Amino acid sequence: MLLCLTPAEMQAACRSLRASGRTIGLVPTMGALHAGHLSLVAAAQGQCDIVAASIFVNPTQFGPTEDYAAYPRTFDEDFQKLAAAGVHALFAPSAEGMYPPGTTTSVDPGELGNRLDGASRPGHFRGVATIVARLFHIVQPDRAYFGQKDAAQIAVLRRMVRDLNFPIHLVACPIVREPDGLALSSRNRYLSIDERRRAGVLSRALATAESLAHNGETSAEVLRAALLATLATDPLLRLDYAAVVDPDTLLPLAETSHGALLAVAAWIGGTRLIDNLLLPPRA
Ligand code: AMP
């Protein structure tokens, strides 16, 4: 696996990997890799000739009181996992390399960037859109792979690809979960044993609402009440949001027959966890 540490190196490597018409799939990550990340690599391998991945803990998407400094950094293990998975090129720049002094340009996702996680993490999606736009310019992939786990991120990036005419197909991959339903996340390693046991309540809340939907319930209010009722069974959980929204605009829905995103975010102890479920349109 080719390792590139600067934007110029990665740009040059991707230019030659793309030679003779080979397609490139890009998997952007912040490292601390788990099976969710590797599922994106596998999806890219199934659809592209060349797979490029990036590991970059992007400072501009963390708020001043968030866990940028503490975010898990496990580069050696991540490198081994990506090499073993057959990734062709890994881009792992430094923060200074990506944001040299004097960098001022950013990508503003507008109002969409202030919804769901964007409401409680001001500036988060501006940071995400900016770094992903820059990765797109450096790698120039044909396809880019993201997890449905970060549903609001998918909405913001889909809109960015459309608004800025990136010639890139964005692929949303299913959420990979632990046996008890907990969505895999690099932040799960912050959880104590007791918090880890409690964390299953997020996916249980979604499963409860999903079974109501399967039985014909289409009222967003009823589905949201079901989410809240299950989340309330853990009195120590601190809710950020439980929402029933349009998956593209992230605006609240009154009813779900045309499809809906059910999304939850909550603090378990000091760890903020998110999870979601897409309800398909009813036939
Ligand atoms: P991160 O390293 O947390 O920025 O995640 C990098 C990519 O992996 C993002 O597109 C995430 O949505 C995706 N991802 C994270 N967790 C999961 C998961 N449990 N299942 C599928 N994709 C995931």
- According to CATH, where is 3.30.1300.10 located in the chain? 186-274
User: Which DSSP string do the residues of the chain spell out, in sequence order?
Assistant: -EEE-SHHHHHHHHHHHTGGG--EEEEEE-SS--HHHHHHHHHHHHH-SEEEEEE---GGGS-TTSSTTTS---HHHHHHHHHHHT-SEEE---HHHHS-TT-------GGGGGSTHHHHSTTHHHHHHHHHHHHHHHH--SEEEEETTSHHHHHHHHHHHHHTT---EEEEEPPPB-TTSPBP-GGGGG--HHHHHHTTHHHHHHHHHHHHHHTT--BHHHHHHHHHHHHTTSTT-EEEEEEEE-TTT--B-SB-TT-EEEEEEEEETTEEEEEEEEEPPP-
User: pTM score, two decimals?
Assistant: 0.98
For residue range 126-139, list pLDDT tens digits in order.
999 999 999 999 99
d(CA 160, CA 217): 33
d(CA 20, CA 156): 32
Nearest CA to ligand 1 atom 19: 184
pLDDT given for residue 34 in this prediction: 98
Which residue out of 39, 55, 66, 149 has the highest number of ligand 1 atoms within 8 Å of its CB and is therefore the one to mutate?
149
Cβ partners under 8 Å of residue 9, min gap 6: none
For residue range 90-129, list pLDDT tens digits in order.
999 999 999 999 999 999 999 999 999 999 999 999 999 9
Dihedral angle of Cα 248, 161, 27, 142, to the nearest 10 degrees? 130
In the CATH scheme, what is the homologous superfamily, with its name and number, of domain 2-173? HUPs (3.40.50.620)
Residue type, 73: R
Per the listing, tokens 């963390």 go with 62
| Per-residue pLDDT band at 20 (split at 50, 70, 90) | confident
**Cα–ligand 1 centroid distance for 2 (angstroms):** 22
Q: Is the pLDDT of residue 10 over 90?
A: yes
Pocket of ligand 1 (CB under 6 A): 29-30, 36-37, 39-40, 146-147, 149-150, 173, 175-176, 183-186
d(CA 11, CA 16): 9
Give the pLDDT mean for 40-47. Answer: 98
Per the document, the length of the chain is 283
Residue type, 148: Q
Q: Is the pLDDT of residue 283 over 80?
A: no
Output the CATH code of domain 186-274.
Answer: 3.30.1300.10
| Per-residue pLDDT band at 238 (split at 50, 70, 90) | very high
pLDDT given for residue 254 in this prediction: 98
- According to CATH, where is 3.40.50.620 located in the chain? 2-173
pLDDT given for residue 147 in this prediction: 98
pLDDT given for residue 51 in this prediction: 98
Q: How far is residue 195 from each of residues 40, 116, 234, 235, 272, measured CA to CA in Å?
A: 27, 23, 11, 12, 11
137 assigned to active site: no
Contact of 130 with 60, CB cutoff 8 Å: yes
Q: Is the pLDDT of residue 261 over 80?
A: yes
How are strands ordered across the β-sheet holding 89-91?
2-4, 89-91, 50-55, 24-29, 143-147, 169-173
**Cα–ligand 1 centroid distance for 32 (angstroms):** 10
Nearest CA-CA partner of 4 in 101, 81, 93: 93
Q: Is the pLDDT of residue 204 over 90?
A: yes
d(CA 70, CA 66): 9
**Cα–ligand 1 centroid distance for 145 (angstroms):** 9
d(CA 241, CA 151): 13
| Mean pLDDT of the residues in the chain | 98
